Each structure stands twice: as structure tokens, then as C-alpha cells.
Chain A
């Protein structure tokens, strides 16, 4: 599929989830992969890129049942990016919806 489009959709979905609350990698990939035709592996690379772009940051939380979990937190830049993306997406759906 079109890489740019896929990238945009994935970024938006991941950031929108993180807007609700901080999540660790596994639960985030489970949530996204239950709706999108995408493998968990690809999502880790999306997360890595979002982190490189400073849209998300990470911190470790000790877990009683195993190794420490790395949580993802959306940054102020990430929030702005998510809001702009969501607006564009809604416009797109509304306009195409009128034409279909």
C-alpha cells in the first residue's frame, strides 16, 4: 500500500491511543493489531520512528510479574501532530463520504 498513507494512518492511530493513556509496547500493539491489518513487528518500528521524531517518549516501570515495562508517553509535539492529523482525516472522510 502507499507508504506515505500507511505511515500517516499508523502514526495517527498510535498517537490517538497514547492520547488516552500511556501504554507499554505489547498492549499498544495488541490494541492496534486487533483493528488494523498490520503485524506487531511493524508497529515497533512505527514507535521507534515516532520516538526519533520526539512525538513520544519512553520510561520504564518495574513490574511485579516479570521484567520492567517500557511505557510510551505522547509529548506536546505529538499531541499537536495528532490533532492536526485527526482534523485532516475527518475532513477526508467527510468529503469522500459526500461523494460516495
Chain B
């Protein structure tokens, strides 16, 4: 993230604070950028080091609140503070479990007072390797409990930090994951539905087929590569979303993270973002994209049923191949540009392109709108 963007988001998040305190904090962050640049770092590296501006700001309330000191799991809590205690150090695998008979059905993984890194892939049966994380004094008390109820395999990770490698049989219908933090990687699986919730940590899906996909994240990025989901619904707060070579209808909602979608195929895609930028390359004929302050870029090689693109202060850039479309662009203070060679009509801050029924609509308050062919 660039310096201006970082400071902008932080200022926005601190808006409720009194002006003097806010300025004092912003000034310190500005100084940090100055010092970092002086020592040869890039603005992006410095932003990374400073951490997510939204989370940094959440720290204000978290770190100024009152509460009783909880001795429960105190060592586990401490272990997450000390780098040397190592979030990425794990004990030897201590539980390996396989089922003799081929079990099918559903898999549910949840964490209670715990966080875990997880890798899930297809195998012959439900089989897992679990490793405890380390705290200051050695392996922590993290436990994995498993249970089979009806046709569902439950894995419950409790009290600490651990690492789970799970294989599920290819006949598994439903996969559900509830994690607090830790990275989740899912690859080479075939499901009816997948439902993932995580508050921090990244989620990555590769070579995965599912009818329904639902992901909810507070921070942390989502990466999807070769994911085929008839219907997907993704909600992120501050992380980025990257989709490459994915198919299916998608509904995406983000806060401050950027969205980068390339080589997408499907019927319909709906995206809304608050301050992140959106780059979308799709052959879906139905496209609906909106952002408050982020820029929007849409490229589509296919027939257009409709495109809706709206932003308050971001720019909108449309790159269209289909010759059969007509557009209406409007803005309050931005510029409108037609580079397609199609006939246009202008009246005030409205631009009409083409002679047919309007199926491409774009509007902004202060951003520019541009259409191009390729």
C-alpha cells in the first residue's frame, strides 16, 4: 500500500477521535514513513511493517480497555507475542488417525479458544496429522478432539495454536471451517458445498470444484486458483481477493482490500468495495461493480448482457470487445471519454455511446469514466 493511501485509511478509521490525538498519531505514522524511506525501504514495505491500518486502530480500543487478567491459557497467550516462541514451530506429529472403512459425508473443523494453520486435500479417507504449536516453554496445550456423529466428521481444535493436515475422501459433500487465525489451504477437492469463516490469516483454494462456496473473513487475503464454484459468495473486510482462472457466478463484498480477478468465466458477477480497487477480467455477460473510493477496471471479451459500474470518487475504465452495446455514462465533476469509435452524444455531464438500448451504465461523482475497445 502506498503512503498516502495508508495515512488516508488510518485518518478515516480514527475519525471519531479528538483532533489533537488523531493528529499526534498520524504524525507518528508519517515520521515512520520518513524514517523508513531514509533507510531505503519502499512505501509498500513500510506499510507492511506498520500493519493493517484498520487493525492498528482497533488496537486503540483493545489496548485501552479494562478487563480482568485471565490466567487461563496465559502461556498460550504469551506465545503469540514472542516471535522466538514461534508460531511456525510445531511439535512432532502426534496424532495420526485413519478410518478403516471408507467414510463419506461431511467434515466440520472448528477452533475453540485456539487458532490453527490447516491444509485440506483429497485422500482415500478421513485422515489427519495434527501438531501442537510452541509457547515459551515448549509445545502448548493445544488439543484436537474428533467425533463422528451421523455422517459428519467433527474436528475441534482447542486451547492454543496448532497445525492440521487433513485429507478427506472424494465423496465428501460438505466442508465447513470456523477458524480464528491461521492460514487455510484447500487443494484438489471436489465438494457440494464449502463454508469458511476466519477472522485473520489467509485462505487459499486451488483446483477445487464445488457447487456452493461461501467465505467470510475479517482480515487476511483470499486467493482462488482454478476454482470452479457454481455459486460463490465472499465477504472480506480488509484483505485482498485474487482469483485466477475461476468459474461460476460470484458475489463479492470487500472493505479496504483490492480485488484482482483474471480469466474468470461465468454468467454473472457482482462486486462491491468500499475503498479497494477492482480489476475484473471476465466473460460473464452480466456484470455489476461498485466502489466508494476505489478505481474500477473491467475487461470483457464476450457478449454483454449488461454492465453496471458505479463509483463515488474512483475512476471507471471499461474495455469491451462485443460490438453490440450502448452506454450511458454520467458524472458530477469527472471526465467522460469515448475511445471506442462508436457514435456518441453528449449533454452536460452525460455521455451516450451507440444507438441501441442502453445496456452499459456507469456513473461517478468525481471519478473519470472511459470506454475503449480492444
- Which residues from chain A sit less than 8 Å from chain B, CB to CB? 1-10, 24-26, 29, 33-42, 44-49, 52, 65-67, 69-70, 96, 100
Q: Beyond A3-B62, A35-B83, list 11 extra A-B contacts (CB 8 Å).
A: A2-B69, A2-B73, A4-B69, A5-B78, A25-B31, A37-B80, A37-B82, A41-B53, A67-B31, A70-B31, A100-B138
Q: How far is the CA of A33 from the CA of B56 in the complex (A)?
A: 14
> Nearest residue in B to A67 (C-beta to C-beta)?
B34
- Chain-A contact segment, one of B21-29, B306-314, B332-340: B21-29
Q: Is the CB of A45 within 8 A of B63?
A: yes
Asked if B374 is at the interface (CB within 8 A of a chain A CB), the reply is: no
Given that A5-B69, A25-B28 are known contacts, is A40 also in contact with B62, CB under 8 Å in the complex?
no
Q: How far is the CA of A66 from the CA of B62 in the complex (A)?
A: 34
B51 contact from A36, A40, A52, A65, Cβ within 8 A: A40
**Which residues in chain B, 342-357, are within 8 Å of chain A measured between CB atoms?**
none
Q: Is the CB of A4 within 8 A of B25?
A: no
26 A-B pairs with CB atoms under 8 Å apart are A1-B77, A2-B69, A2-B77, A4-B65, A4-B68, A4-B70, A5-B69, A5-B70, A6-B81, A7-B63, A24-B31, A24-B35, A26-B35, A29-B32, A33-B49, A35-B84, A40-B51, A41-B10, A41-B52, A41-B53, A42-B51, A45-B56, A47-B28, A49-B60, A65-B38, A66-B34
A36 contact from B10, B25, B34, B82, Cβ within 8 A: B82
Smallest distance from the beta carbon of B81 to chain A beta carbons, Å? 5
Q: Is the CB of A48 within 8 A of B51?
A: no
Q: Is the CB of A46 within 8 A of B63?
A: yes
Asked if B285 is at the interface (CB within 8 A of a chain A CB), the reply is: no
Asked if B105 is at the interface (CB within 8 A of a chain A CB), the reply is: no
Q: How far is the CA of A3 from the CA of B86 in the complex (A)?
A: 20
> Nearest residue in A to B24 (C-beta to C-beta)?
A48
Q: Is the CB of B83 within 8 A of A5?
A: no
Please, which residues of chain B bring their CB within 8 A of the CB of A38? Answer: 81
Smallest distance from the beta carbon of A81 to chain B beta carbons, Å? 15
Q: How far is the CA of A68 from the CA of B212 in the complex (A)?
A: 56
- Which residues from chain B sit less than 8 Å from chain A, CB to CB? 10, 21, 24-25, 27-29, 31-32, 34-36, 38, 49-53, 55-57, 59-60, 62-70, 73-75, 77-78, 80-84, 87, 137-138
Please, which residues of chain B bring their CB within 8 A of the CB of A8? Answer: 69
Please, which residues of chain A bring their CB within 8 A of the CB of B36? Answer: 26
Q: Is the CB of B67 within 8 A of A45?
A: no
Please, which residues of chain B bring their CB within 8 A of the CB of A1? Answer: 77, 80-81
Smallest distance from the beta carbon of A12 to chain B beta carbons, Å? 11
Given that A48-B21, A96-B75 are known contacts, is A39 also in contact with B50, CB under 8 Å in the complex?
yes
Please, which residues of chain B bring their CB within 8 A of the CB of A65? Answer: 38
Q: How far is the CA of A8 from the CA of B62 in the complex (A)?
A: 12
Q: How far is the CA of A7 from the CA of B61 in the complex (A)?
A: 11
Please, which residues of chain A bring their CB within 8 A of the CB of B55? Answer: 39, 41-42
> Nearest residue in A to B53 (C-beta to C-beta)?
A41
Smallest distance from the beta carbon of A34 to chain B beta carbons, Å? 8
Q: Is the CB of B63 within 8 A of A6?
A: yes
> Nearest residue in A to B21 (C-beta to C-beta)?
A48
Please, which residues of chain B bring their CB within 8 A of the CB of A39? Answer: 49-52, 55-56
Of A7, A10, A52, chain B has the most CB atoms within 10 Å of the CB of A7
Please, which residues of chain B bring their CB within 8 A of the CB of A40? Answer: 32, 49-51
Q: How far is the CA of A89 from the CA of B341 in the complex (A)?
A: 73
Smallest distance from the beta carbon of B38 to chain A beta carbons, Å? 6
Smallest distance from the beta carbon of B220 to chain A beta carbons, Å? 14
> Nearest residue in B to A9 (C-beta to C-beta)?
B81
Q: Is the CB of A36 within 8 A of B63?
A: no
Q: Is the CB of B137 within 8 A of A100?
A: yes
Q: Is the CB of B74 within 8 A of A5?
A: yes
Q: How far is the CA of A5 from the CA of B25 in the complex (A)?
A: 23
Please, which residues of chain A bring their CB within 8 A of the CB of B78? Answer: 5, 9
